Amino acid sequence: MLSLPEKIIFTIGILASVFYTYRGARHIARNIASGQGTINWSLPFKRIGELISKYLFFKPVFRFRILPSIFHAFIGWAFFIYLLVNLNDLIFAYTNFNLLHQTGIFGDIYRGAAEFISLALMVSMLALSFRRYVLKPATLRTRDTTLLNPLARKGITRDSMIVTATFFTHTLARVFGESFYIARSGVADSWQPVTSALAALWSGKDAAQLIFDERLMFWVSLGLVFAFLPYFPYSKHIHIFMTPINFALKPERKSIGQLNYINLEDQSIEQFGAAKMKDLGWEQIMDSYACIQCFRCQEVCPAYNTGKILSPAALEINKRYHLNHGGGTDVIMLDMISEEAVWACTSCGACVDICPVGNEPMRDILDIRRNLSMMESNFPKQLEPALKGMERNMNPWNMPQAERMKWADGINVPTVEQNPEPEILWWVGCAPATDARAQKTAQAFAKILNAAGVNYAVLGRNEACTGDSARRAGREDIFFGLASQNVALLNEVAPKRIVTTCPHCLHTIKNEYPAFGGEYQVIHHTQLINELVGAGKIQLSVTSDQFSVTFHDPCYLGRHNGITDAPREALQSAGALTIEMPRNSAKSFCCGAGGAQAWKEEEPGTSRVNAARFAEAKATGANTVAVGCPFCMGMMTDASKSDGGTIQVKDVAEIVAERMVK
């Protein structure tokens, strides 16, 4: 289709485009390579199915904002198809061979797909542009109080405009070019009805003019693509290439909240946590390039939702804009996120769970905490009593270990000394052993186990805090000591199964102790209750006075460990009518206590996290809020008291114990 001079000029343009695109890609690769850790190249082969569902079928995208997600998916699918369409058009321009115009079923399907995806792409771009530039939802930006690179304030909108204008025009020009070809052939194409209808408008043009118009549209269409390519590495749409790499190579995690192991016995370690961007893992630097700047993580963040200055989206965007505008990975992380925002994180994992491209901003924040706490001794002073309690008395309440079994006074609760080979080892946890309200959960669960005749035991005075709060506060040294001690004890006991009423204990023992040599089967108490009910070992009195319950999913139970059905099934077995809150299961809203927040005051905001969650529970009309975590119990109870105590807050075990037939 192109003349020889045109081919020469276009080839020079392609080479220049590829060269400058390569320079941008090399800049990205160098920044990612400056991060910590090594790449496991075998992972992509293990994740083929996951890659197909996540990348080709946009599975993570459809979990939120359904209508915009559909439009986004069409744009994404258009990208895949247009790789082939543009390659075909390029070959046609140089060789006069056009796969699109071949006869037979393959050519028909190919033309039909190109027609459909072209129209879908343009409609989707117009719809999303209307949403972004006319409707301007607050969910597509961050508050002025949040630290955001000044260049990003206008740059995000400008970047979107450039991309939209480029590819809308590219697609429209290709459709016009195809219409000129159809008009020149004089035969309408039933597989391209819209393009054929457009071609009918050119019926009065002579062949020479149609050939010229067709060539012009080629230059506009493909020329825009190659003109855009050097900008591509610096635009937010580089996520198209970074996302599959993110999904394929992201280090394996036992759960979204599992933190990487640090061997404190290794004297060669000089840096703990992330002071600078280069202290992050390579995959955490890659996150900034994979970020689509959709602000979904911000929309589900409990800190941001309650008016605090933390925005996980702003953190990733700040990293990207710093790297794109001449900055390297030597930048201090507190230039990317304020210290106040760092300590506002509840480690709920909502940002990690909802991200459609697999980013993990929570991990950055916890690594920054490690640096602040371990390297600079800079952490909220309100945390000191709990941290000292874990150091000195192996629990954040600072209770003497000799009093750890006081909660069980008057109840037959065997220790491992009394029952050295139990079927179930009950890890009681610090809260149920020390906090007056949480003790009622432990006492109720003990009654259930005893009524069911379960062969179980507890560690008693030998049990220590798992170290979860210390680790989330950045005090890896305290966590390392507690984890090492607990794993040594558990390996000596060699439990067949461990049950715990605390999701934080469950998460730590199940997902983080394996790095210390402790591999255990760990279950939540609601899972064991279901087993006992199913086996007929406990009978529950289900009467006509059905009571309504809304279950608050603890972050470390539902989102971090995927346990969402067991608590609801246990409640239903007890005759409860369960009413769901809008945000439930893996999308549950945090109670506000995680990430060591239980031991400090919240950062300033418009409301408290627990108050926001309790209001959501109250709106269901249920007369009881059921929980499955001692921290959630404390936060929901406090919120209930502030609301006048009109709604009861109970652990699932308490509800089951009340309905248990004696």
CATH of the domain at 519: 3.40.50
**In the predicted structure, residue 70 carries a pLDDT above the cut 80:** yes
Mean pLDDT score, 512-517: 97
**Could you tell me the CATH number of the domain that includes residue 625?**
3.40.50.10700
Domain co-membership, 355 together with 503: no
pLDDT computed for residue 552 by the predictor: 98
Residue 335 domain-assigned (yes or no): yes
Report whether pLDDT(545) > 70. Answer: no
Whether residue 284 sits in one domain with residue 166: no
Q: Decide if 372 contacts 274 (C-beta within 8 A).
A: no
Pairing of strands 456-458, 424-427: parallel
* DSSP per residue, 154-203: HHHHHHHHHHHHHHHHHHHHHHHHHHHHHHHHT---TTSHHHHHHHGGGT
CA distance 228 to 230: 6
Residue 559 in any domain: the answer is yes
Give the list of residues 6+ apart from residue 34 with CB closer than 8 angstroms, or none.
Answer: 278, 282, 285, 328, 329
Give residue 646's pLDDT band: very low, low, confident or very high (50, 70, 90): confident
pLDDT bin (cut points 50, 70, 90) of residue 101 is confident
Q: Choose between 25 and 662: higher pLDDT.
A: 25
- Residue 201 domain flag: yes
Q: Give the mean model confidence (pLDDT) for residues 4-21.
A: 97
The mean pLDDT value for 527-532 works out to 98
Say if residue 103's pLDDT is above 90.
no
Spatial CA neighbour of 163 closest among 65, 233, 114, 89:
233
pLDDT at position 392 is 94
Are residues 208 and 324 located together in one domain of the fold?
Answer: no
- Cβ-defined contacts of 533-540 (< 8 Å, 24+): 533/570, 533/573, 537/452, 537/453, 537/454, 538/448, 538/451, 538/452, 538/656, 538/660, 538/661, 539/660, 539/661, 540/573, 540/574, 540/575, 540/656, 540/659, 540/660, 540/661
Establish how many alpha carbons lie within 13 A of residue 14's alpha carbon, considering only the half-sphere containing its beta carbon: 11
Examine the fold and report which residue of 348, 378, 408 is the final residue of a domain before the chain moves on: 378
Do 405 and 447 lie in one domain? The reply is yes
What does the pLDDT read at residue 221? Answer: 97
* pLDDT bracket for residue 100 (50, 70, 90): confident
CATH of the domain at 306: 1.10.1060.10
pLDDT tens-digit map of 434-453: 999 999 999 999 999 999 99
Return contacts of 538-545, CB within 8 angstroms, 24+ apart.
538/448, 538/451, 538/452, 538/656, 538/660, 538/661, 539/660, 539/661, 540/573, 540/574, 540/575, 540/656, 540/659, 540/660, 540/661, 541/575, 541/659, 541/660, 541/661, 542/573, 542/574, 542/575, 542/659, 543/575
* Residue closest to 234 by CA, chosen among 23, 440, 547, 74: 23
Q: Is residue 40 domain-resident? A: no
Average pLDDT of the chain to the nearest whole number? 95
| 196: containing domain | 4-33+64-234
Same domain, 524 and 552: no
Residue 53 maps to a domain: no
- Mean pLDDT confidence for 484-508: 98
Same domain for 367 and 412, yes or no, is no
Q: What does the pLDDT read at residue 577?
A: 93
Q: Once rounded to an integer, what is the mean pLDDT over residues 520-538?
A: 97
Q: Is residue 434 part of a domain?
A: yes
Whole-number pLDDT of residue 1? 79
Q: Check residue 327 and give its pLDDT.
A: 87
Give the residue-averaged pLDDT of 617-623: 96
Side-chain-side CA neighbours of residue 364 (13 Å): 35
> What Rg value do the Cα atoms of the chain yield, rounded?
29
Residue 83 CA, chain-centre distance (Å), reads 29
Same domain, yes or no, for 549 and 635? yes
What's residue 332's pLDDT? 96
| Contact call for residues 189 and 111 (beta carbons, < 8 A) | yes
**Structure confidence at residue 594 (pLDDT):** 97
In a domain, 243, yes or no: no
Residue 104: is its pLDDT beyond 90?
A: no
User: Residue 649 above 90 pLDDT?
Assistant: yes
Q: Are residues 516 and 581 located together in one domain of the fold? A: no
Residues 197 and 167 in one domain: yes
Q: What is the mean pLDDT of residues 235-256?
A: 95
Total domains in the chain come to: 4
Among 478, 511, 530, identify where a domain stops.
530
pLDDT at 178: 93
Q: What is the pLDDT of residues 363-379, one digit of tens each?
A: 999 999 999 999 999 99
**145 and 12 fall within a common domain:** yes
For residue 551, give the H/E element and its range. Answer: strand 547-551
pLDDT score recorded for residue 98: 83
Residue 546 has pLDDT above 80, yes or no: no
Domain endpoint, select from 475, 508, 530: 530
96 burial via Cβ count (<10 Å: 0-12, 13-18, 19+): exposed
Give me the long-range contacts of 397-400 (CB less than 8 A, separation at least 24): 397/430, 397/434, 397/435, 399/433, 399/434
Return the closest-CA partner of residue 1 out of 225, 272, 212: 212
Kindly tell me if the per-residue pLDDT of 89 is higher than 70: yes
Alpha-carbon distance of 287 to 219, in angstroms, equals 35
Identify whether residues 459 and 473 lie together within a single domain: yes
**In-domain check, residue 140:** yes
Same domain for 161 and 87: yes
Q: Give 350's pLDDT tier (boundaries 50, 70, 90).
A: very high
pLDDT higher for 321 or 543?
A: 321
Kindly state the percentage of the chain with pLDDT values over 70: 100
Report residue 544's pLDDT band, with 50, 70 and 90 as the boundaries.
low
